[in-house]
């Protein structure tokens, strides 16, 4: 009931925005369902670092978030508890998932996007190791809270980075590809991790994917400057709807590179206004 109430509150807030959003009207014949999906995938492949970020979030969902589904088995095996132990861990994850984004909002522009992704990615995996291997309730609750907060920050950061990097006409398609990838990877991986619980101790099944994702974050951390540079080329420097270059960008054919768009010195907020 509380969850339904929050959904209704969110719906009312979104409804108030309908007059403030100037959405692009579709022009021309219907393209069907597959063509926009193909265009979104082609756009992601061309526009760096969208592809790298999607690989990163796909690993995140399949290794850290998917393994959360075995929490009941972990609570039973490690904490020798029943439904109350599982509820405690689940509540800790939920509390962290609220606290983490609030902390990120408070920090605001004082933190950079890519280092935030690196730190939150590592903190998404490390607590799963202690949660899976240390059979102490206090440690488990703290680990679950940290993991929940880091995972929420990481997912929010990825969505923000991809949306900010995409041009207006492709943002919905980029978001849909990302949503399909993350939910699909998480669902399929959840089945695999659940099956392994019948063969391996639940704590091991939880800890190993967490450790693997921490290792997987290393290549992205080493490329953080390149990714930050690519993200700095936001949609402000891209062709606007109706221009000749715009149609090339949203098509599946070859598109002009970012280097083809002249980039001037960085502008302050007042200069852009």
Instruction: Give the DSSP letter string of 23-47.
Output: PPPP-SS--TTHHHHHHHHHHHHHS
Domain membership of residue 241 (yes or no) is no
Q: Does residue 39 sit within a domain?
A: yes
pLDDT in tens, 1-60: 999 999 999 999 989 887 777 666 656 667 777 888 888 889 998 888 999 999 999 999
Q: Give domain status of residue 107, yes or no.
A: yes
Residue 148 in domain: yes
Q: How many domains does the chain have?
A: 1
CATH of the domain at 171: 1.20.1250.20
Q: Which of 98, 103, 108 lies closest to 145 in space, CA to CA? A: 98
Alpha carbons within 13 angstroms on the beta-carbon side of residue 104 total 23
Does a structural domain hold residue 12?
Answer: no
Cα 145 vs. chain centroid, distance in angstroms? 18
Rounded Cα distance, 223 and 267, in Å: 25
In angstroms, the CA 25 to CA 10 distance is 25
Dihedrals φ, ψ of 151, to 5°? Answer: -65, -40
Q: For residue 101, give the DSSP letter.
A: H
With beta carbons less than 8 A apart as the criterion, state whether 162 and 17 touch: no
Domain-embedded: residue 70: yes
Helix runs in the chain, H state only: 2-16, 34-46, 50-60, 71-78, 83-107, 113-133, 137-165, 171-196, 202-222, 224-232, 244-250, 269-272
Q: Is residue 22 part of a domain?
A: no
Q: Name the residue with tokens 């403030």.
A: 20
The answer to whether position 60 is within a domain reads: yes
Q: Nearest 5°: CA angle at 55, between 143 and 234?
A: 105
Distance CA 125, CA 119 (A): 10
pTM of this prediction? 0.75
- Tens digits of pLDDT across the chain (273 residues): 999 999 999 999 989 887 777 666 656 667 777 888 888 889 998 888 999 999 999 999 999 988 778 888 898 888 887 678 888 899 999 999 999 999 888 887 788 889 999 999 999 999 999 999 998 989 999 999 999 999 999 999 998 888 888 888 888 889 888 888 888 888 888 888 888 888 999 999 999 999 999 999 999 999 998 888 888 875 445 554 444 444 454 444 434 333 333 333 444 444 444
Domain carrying residue 195: 34-235
Interatomic CA distance for residues 87 and 110, integer angstroms: 35
CB proximity list for 162: less than 8 A, separation 6 or greater: 50, 53, 54, 174, 175, 178
């Amino acid at each position: 009931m509380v969850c339904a109430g929050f959904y209704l509150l969110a719906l009312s807030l979104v409804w108030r925005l309908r007059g403030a959003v100037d959405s692009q009207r579709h022009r021309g014949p219907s393209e069907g369902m597959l063509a926009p999906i193909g265009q979104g995938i082609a756009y992601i492949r061309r526009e760096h670092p969208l592809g790298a970020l999607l690989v990163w979030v796909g690993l995140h969902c399949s290794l850290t978030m998917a393994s959360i589904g075995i929490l009941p088995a972990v609570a039973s095996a490690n904490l020798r508890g029943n439904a109350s132990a599982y509820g405690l861990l689940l509540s800790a994850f939920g509390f962290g998932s609220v606290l983490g984004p609030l902390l990120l909002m408070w920090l605001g522009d004082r933190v950079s996007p890519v280092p935030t992704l690196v730190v939150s990615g590592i903190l998404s995996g490390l607590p799963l190791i202690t949660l899976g291997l240390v059979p102490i309730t206090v440690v488990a609750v703290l680990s679950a809270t940290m993991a929940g907060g880091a995972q929420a920050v990481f997912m929010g950061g990825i969505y923000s980075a991809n949306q900010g990097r995409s041009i207006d006409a492709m943002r919905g398609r980029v978001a849909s590809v990302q949503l399909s990838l993350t939910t699909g990877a998480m669902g399929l991986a959840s089945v695999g991790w659940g099956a392994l619980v019948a063969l391996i101790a639940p704590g091991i099944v939880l800890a190993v994917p967490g450790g693997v994702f921490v290792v997987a974050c290393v290549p992205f951390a080493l490329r953080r400057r390149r990714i930050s540079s690519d993200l700095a080329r936001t949609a402000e420097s891209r062709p606007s709807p109706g221009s000749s270059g715009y149609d090339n960008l949203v098509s599946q054919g070859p598109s002009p590179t970012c280097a083809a768009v002249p980039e001037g010195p960085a502008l302050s907020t007042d200069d852009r206004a």
